[in-house]
A = this chain, B = another copy of it.
Amino acid sequence: MRMSEKPNLLVTSSAVIGRFDSLRPYAKIYLLDELEEEELDRIAPLIDCVLVQTWWPDALTPERVSRMSRLRFIQSGMAGVNHIPFKHLGKRVMVSSNAGGFSVGVAEFALALMLAAAKRLVKLDYALRTDKFDPADWGRLFREVVVLKGRTLGILGYGGIGSEVGSLGRALGMNVIAFSRHPSKESGVQVFHGGEGLLRVLGKSDAIVVALPLSKLTIGLIGAAELAAMKTDAILVNVARAEIVEEEALYRHLVKFPQFTYATDVWQIKRGKETYSSRFPFLKLSNFIGTPHVAGGSAALTGEPGRAAVENLMLFLRGEAPRNVVDPSEYI
C-alpha cells in the first residue's frame, strides 16, 4: 500500500521550529499533533522519515516505533540526540543530529555564562540586590574578577557549537585548546584525545566549556577525578547536557572550592523531565550560575536551526547523504 509517490514524512510538532514548507515538493507531510491515535496507528508502517523538532514525543511509543518498518531516517531538530529511542530502532534507520544549526546561538550563550562567571556578575548583582554587599569587602571582591585575555579556554567537544565557542574565545585573546575525537579544522587550536588528553585540557584551562553530545561515551565524563584535575578557581560552563557532569561530585567540589564556578543552562533529566531542583542545593551556592535551558530555544527563534534541520532532511529526501549522522552504538 503506497499512500503517495513521495516519501511520507512525519513531523512532530513544536512551537519553536516552524518552517518546513520547502519540503512539500519532496515529501507527503503528516503532522503528529493533527493525527488521531487510530490514524497514527494506521500510517506508522508507511512513514519513511521523521522530523523530531524537540524531544522525542510520547505518542511514538516503543510499540509504535517497532511497527514503523519503512522508517529509514530521523532528523533531530535539537543538537542532542540522546532522547531518540535508539534501542527500538531498526538497524537501517539513520539518525542525524542538528549540531550545526544551534552553533551561533548556543556558543553566544556559553560565552555569556563564561563571562558572567569570570566577572562574578551574578554573585555581585545578587549581593547588591539582597543588600548583602559590604563595601568593606570590595577590595577582596574585585580581586576575584578575572580578565580572560591571555587565559586558557578548554573546549570539550569541538563540533559546531564548540568550534564557534573557540572563535569567540580567540577574539577575546584567549589561548584555545580542545578535547575532541576529531582533529581541528582550524589552525591555532591544539586538540587533545582520550582520557589522558581530557585531563590535560582540564588541568591547563582557566575556563572550560562542555559542548559534547550526551552519549554513553560522555555520560558522567566529568566526575570527581576530572574536577580535581581542574584549577581550583576554574570556570566550568555547560551548554550541552547536565548528565555529562556527575551531580554529586560537582556539588561537593563547589562547596570545597568557593572560587570554582559552575555555570549551566542544562539540568538533569529526572523522571523524564528536565528539572531545576536537586537533592544537592546548587541554587544556594554563590559559585553556581543557572538558567532554565533557554539557549537552544532562543537560538531556534533565529530560524537557523530550523533551516539547518530542513536542509539536511532535504538531502535525505533527494537521495543524497545527510550530514551529522550519529553512531547508534554510542547511544544504546
Within 8 A of B (CB), among A94-118: 104-105, 108-109, 111-113, 115-116, 118
| Interface check A219, CB cutoff 8 A | no
| A148 → chain B closest CB, angstroms | 6
Q: Do A128 and B168 touch across chains, with their CB atoms under 8 A apart?
A: no
> Inside 8 A of A115's CB, which chain B residues have their CB?
108, 111-112, 115-116
- Of A23-31, A133-141, A178-186, A314-322, the segment with at least 4 beta carbons within 8 Å of chain B is A133-141
A117 to B59 alpha-carbon distance, docked (Å):
38
A113 to B112 alpha-carbon distance, docked (Å):
9
What are some 24 contacts across the A-B interface (CB < 8 A)?
A: A104-B147, A105-B149, A108-B147, A112-B119, A113-B119, A124-B290, A124-B292, A125-B126, A126-B129, A128-B290, A128-B291, A129-B283, A129-B290, A133-B292, A142-B297, A142-B301, A143-B297, A143-B298, A145-B297, A145-B298, A146-B298, A147-B301, A171-B171, A171-B172
What does the 1/0 interface line of A220-264 toward B look like (CB < 8 Å)?
Answer: 000000000000000000000000000000000000000000000
A150 to B171 alpha-carbon distance, docked (Å):
17
| A127 → chain B closest CB, angstroms | 8
Q: Do B276 and A133 touch across chains, with their CB atoms under 8 A apart?
A: yes
Number of copies: 2
Q: Do B283 and A128 touch across chains, with their CB atoms under 8 A apart?
A: yes
Q: Do B292 and A147 touch across chains, with their CB atoms under 8 A apart?
A: no
| Interface check A120, CB cutoff 8 A | yes
| Interface check A122, CB cutoff 8 A | yes
Q: Count of chain A residues with Cβ under 8 Å from any Cβ of B?
A: 52
Q: Do A118 and B112 touch across chains, with their CB atoms under 8 A apart?
A: yes
> Inside 8 A of A119's CB, which chain B residues have their CB?
108-109, 112-113, 291, 294-295, 298
| A221 → chain B closest CB, angstroms | 25
Q: Do B121 and A116 touch across chains, with their CB atoms under 8 A apart?
A: yes
> Inside 8 A of A109's CB, which chain B residues have their CB?
119, 145
- Known contacts A147-B299, A297-B142, A290 near B125 by CB under 8 Å: yes
| Interface check A15, CB cutoff 8 A | yes
A126 to B288 alpha-carbon distance, docked (Å):
11
Within 8 A of B (CB), among A275-332: 276, 283-284, 289-292, 294-295, 297-299, 301-302
Q: Do A173 and B128 touch across chains, with their CB atoms under 8 A apart?
A: no
- The 9 A-B residue pairs whose C-beta atoms are closest, nearest first, are A171-B171, A145-B298, A112-B115, A142-B297, A142-B294, A112-B119, A124-B291, A105-B147, A129-B283
